[in-house]
Amino acid sequence: MGTKANFHGPAFGGLEITEKLSDKQIDEWAQELFEQLTLDEKIKMMSGDVPFWPGMADMLGGGYADHPWVAGAVPRLGIPGVRFADGPRGVIMDGGTTFPVSMGRGATFDPELEERVGDVIGRELRAMGGNFFGGVCINLLRHPAWGRAQETYGEDPIHLGEFGAALVRGVQKHVMACAKHYALNSMENARFSVDVAIAPRPLHEIYLRHFKRAVEAGVASIMSAYNSVNGEWCGQNYTLLTEILKKQWGFKGFVMTDFIFGMRDSKKAALAGQDIEMPFDMIHRQHLKGLVAHGEVPVERIDDAALRVLRQQVRFAQGRNPSEYSLEVVGCDAHLQVAREAAEKAIVLLKNDGALLPLKGVKKLAVIGKLAAVPNTGDGGSSNTRPPYVVTPLQGLQEALAGQAEIIYDDGSDPARAVQVAREAEVAVIVAGYTDQDEGEYVSPDSMAELSKNFPPPTPEEMPIAQAMMANMGATNSVPNAMPPGGDRKLLTLNPADETLIQTVADSNPRTVVAMMGGSAIITENWRGKVPAILMLWYPGMEGGHAFADILLGKVNPSGKLPCVFATRPEDLPYYDMNAKAITYDLWHGYRKLERDGAAPAFPFGFGLSYTTFEFANLRLAATSLGADDNLTVTLDVTNSGPVAGDTVVQVYVAVPNSRVERAPKELKAFRRVGLQAGETKTVQLDVPVKELAYYDEQAGWTVEPTSYTLIVGQHSLDERALRATFTIA
């Protein structure tokens, strides 16, 4: 294969193959490299390259986002190793484009846009010297209190799978992608201690199918989660890593641990199918070589891990021109435009009584709330980005209305003063919500004390580093990247002070708009009846202020749709204990649970208003009697019946009223974003493989039920004007 002649390029320390290789050539090249490795080098490839104590000191000093984290490099053979940088709202290293958080991007219902987001991220990471993006987070949102809800796309597994696959496709035009956290990771405070009990059906139908979709999309790597599933930690769970992922799904990539605390037993992890311990030479450093020498971990398992890692490096080192990845692409104008588009499409208009929005001809505008004037891009932990600037909502409005209107700003800290400001204005805009202090990544002191038992003993040279680091960790929650308090949300409502501010301002000015920031659903019952207009901004990224102004002033028609249901009461949601040691997950959460229970939401899944109106008509099925291997082909006409151009989302749900098993009243099976000029009609076709209508049987696996089905096509999950049709599967 000519390895020595073709390994070149400064970006990855050696392995750079400009010609495009076939799968067969990739396998041959990886095998040739593999055959040159010593056993010690293969074992070393199963750990991060950075020694533990210096690496931890680097992280605690804020270095998590300073550089890629390398594992499996073999310089003598020109093998660069995997060079990891985190996400998911952009590359976390300096200057990377910061997009809206994933939950906001999920609200776009636009996988094509998400693929373009991934293209930007992959291109920027490769320019920064990385080859491995760790930001394809596709954990299902079971409950909105989850502190890292913002890092995933929503509550529905089909929606999650399409967005995860789209991000994988985009990123992997340039670098490897990693889908995380596998599996059932949807609690933050208890993530190091909780055991999730789950039966096979909800496991496969609800919590794993989006990971399977990422595997089908060719994802290079899967990151195992911290939590335990059915009695075994995910990082050393044979059922998850080998039986399901590698055998049932045929995954050809490599598995890596979540960082630092992702495995606890070297032998169990290796035998379970864990391929790389990240990011340090930590537990395997202490045990793996001896386990291999004594025959407790077979050499074949080491070979399998090394070859998996090598193959992906060759796969993503080939077929690209290094000159296309200069640092000039990082944060370039074209990438900023994608960030702005994503923020515009993510914002959800939840309420607009009296058509208050878009604002027209306003000469005096009050902007109220501290979050209107401070950068607020999301979690401050491992997903924290470092953009060169952040456009706040206030800045966005000031730029958009310069010379056209007077803007009066008040931070809302004194309600009486805010009321006076609101009274003097034609319209009051309140920006309120959460920050990284309220929700996000979290490591408790108790967890740190327990997990630190797995730290390797320091060498004499490392002892000063170890002593200083442990003293620091005992005093603060600071791993990694100096993360803030964060954690699971203690409130599902806005802060009481924000709710009081909204109520008092709305009493003084009936033309009050509330814009909420946050990572998932917010309960609004205490005040939503008092204001005519509500928007959900999520954490909108570095261009969010411009996007907000575009929406508010009508330059852009709002088109975001909720990727998670907004309930009216906590009691309508699944049981949640942020400090749980054990919990059981079942089929029921989100829109499925609320509709089953007859609980009306404040805003349903898939809901979002527009400045125009849309009509669906002429629903047709290509066939009404189908076999298990067929496609359900759905066609309908979509008309923009309102005054301005806009986008809507065609949402296809399926119900199985006479199923032999318990099923949700309806489940999302497909969706399509459609843009239309005023008065325009388009014919839209969506195809649903019949296999996607299967349920998971514990004995038989995926089972397509021969019965009658109901097709429901609407603009959200509870759309009373949805079109319906029936079909059967033989």
Residue 482, pLDDT > 50, answer: no
Q: pLDDT (tens digit, 9 = 90+) per residue, 523-538?
A: 999 999 999 999 999 9
For residue 326, the tally of other CB atoms under 10 A from its CB is 9
Q: How confident is the model at residue 3 (pLDDT cuts 50, 70, 90)?
A: very low
For residue 486, the tally of other CB atoms under 10 A from its CB is 23
Q: Give the 3-state DSSP-derived string for 575-606, with helices as H, strands as E and coil as C.
A: CCCCCCCEEEECCCCHHHHHHHHCCCCCECCC
Residue 448, pLDDT > 70, answer: yes
Strand, helix or coil for residue 377: coil
Predicted confidence at residue 19, as pLDDT, reads 75
What is d(CA 489, CA 536) in angstroms, rounded to the nearest whole number?
Answer: 17
φ and ψ of 688, to 5 deg: -120, 115
Integer angstrom CA distances of residue 456 from 51, 264, 287, 451? 10, 12, 10, 11
Predicted confidence at residue 15, as pLDDT, reads 60
Helices (H), ranges, 432-520: 445-451, 463-475, 496-508
Predicted confidence at residue 43, as pLDDT, reads 97
Residue 475, pLDDT > 70, answer: no
Structure tokens at 36: 């040159």
Mean pLDDT of the region 233-255: 98
Mean pLDDT of the region 477-493: 72
- Angle of helix 544-552 versus helix 333-346 axis, rounded to 10: 50
Indicate the pairing of strand 221-224 with strand 254-256.
parallel
Q: pLDDT (tens digit, 9 = 90+) per residue, 153-171?
A: 999 999 999 999 999 999 9
Q: What is the DSSP string of 191-249?
A: TTT-EEEE-HHHIIIIIIHHHHHHHHTT-SEEEEPSSEETTEEGGG-HIIIIIIIIIIS
Residue 219, pLDDT > 90, answer: yes
Predicted confidence at residue 5, as pLDDT, reads 26
Which residues partner with 603 through β-bridges? 566
Mean pLDDT of the region 611-618: 98
Q: How confident is the model at residue 640 (pLDDT cuts 50, 70, 90)?
A: very high
Identify whether the C-beta of residue 440 lies closer than 8 Å to the C-beta of residue 379. Answer: yes
Taking alpha carbons only, the member of 269, 266, 267, 261 closest to residue 237 is: 269
What is d(CA 124, CA 422) in angstroms, rounded to the nearest whole number?
Answer: 43
Predicted confidence at residue 444, as pLDDT, reads 83
Taking alpha carbons only, the member of 558, 599, 550, 553 closest to residue 717 is: 599
What is d(CA 461, CA 662) in angstroms, rounded to the nearest whole number?
Answer: 61
Strand, helix or coil for residue 280: strand
Strand, helix or coil for residue 279: coil
Predicted confidence at residue 449, as pLDDT, reads 80
Phi-psi region of 72 (alpha: psi -120 to 50; beta: other; left: phi over 0): left
Give the containing element (helix H, strand E) for 396.
helix 393-400
Indicate the pairing of strand 533-536 with strand 348-352.
antiparallel
Q: Between 654 and 483, name the one with better pLDDT.
A: 654
Predicted confidence at residue 447, as pLDDT, reads 83
Integer angstrom CA distances of residue 248 from 240, 242, 693, 701? 10, 8, 19, 11
Give the containing element (helix H, strand E) for 618.
strand 614-621
Cα 317–319–322 angle (5° rounding)? 70
Phi-psi region of 371 (alpha: psi -120 to 50; beta: other; left: phi over 0): alpha
Identify whether the C-beta of residue 221 lies closer than 8 Å to the C-beta of residue 143. Answer: no
Predicted confidence at residue 349, as pLDDT, reads 99
Strand, helix or coil for residue 339: helix
What is d(CA 531, CA 353) in angstroms, rounded to the nearest whole number?
Answer: 8
Total number of residues shown for the chain: 730
Residue 619, pLDDT > 60, answer: yes
Indicate the pairing of strand 228-229 with strand 232-233.
antiparallel
What is d(CA 547, CA 545) in angstroms, rounded to the nearest whole number?
Answer: 5
Q: pLDDT (tens digit, 9 = 90+) per residue, 107-135?
A: 999 999 999 999 999 999 999 999 999 99
Residue 476, pLDDT > 70, answer: no
Mean pLDDT of the region 551-579: 97
Taking alpha carbons only, the member of 102, 131, 110 closest to residue 17 is: 131
For residue 675, the tally of other CB atoms under 10 A from its CB is 15
Predicted confidence at residue 682, as pLDDT, reads 98
Which residues partner with 1 through β-bridges? none
**Per 3-state DSSP, what percentage of the chain is helix, strand, and coil (rounded to 5)?**
35, 20, 45
φ and ψ of 293, to 5 deg: -60, -35
Residue 13, pLDDT > 50, answer: no
What is d(CA 260, CA 56) in angstroms, rounded to the nearest whole number?
Answer: 9
Q: How confident is the model at residue 479 (pLDDT cuts 50, 70, 90)?
A: very low
Helices (H), ranges, 671-720: none
Identify whether the C-beta of residue 378 lies closer than 8 Å to the C-beta of residue 534. Answer: no
Query: What is the distance of C-alpha 592 from the center of its chain?
Result: 21
Q: pLDDT (tens digit, 9 = 90+) per residue, 25-65?
A: 999 989 999 999 999 999 999 999 999 999 988 888 889 99
Mean pLDDT of the region 281-298: 96
Q: pLDDT (tens digit, 9 = 90+) per residue, 593-602?
A: 999 999 999 9
What does the mean pLDDT of the chain come to? 94
Predicted confidence at residue 466, as pLDDT, reads 86
Taking alpha carbons only, the member of 597, 429, 466, 55 closest to residue 278 is: 55
Integer angstrom CA distances of residue 438 from 92, 379, 485? 21, 9, 7
Which residue matches tokens 């992702």?
Answer: 262
Predicted confidence at residue 483, as pLDDT, reads 54
Residue 307, pLDDT > 80, answer: yes
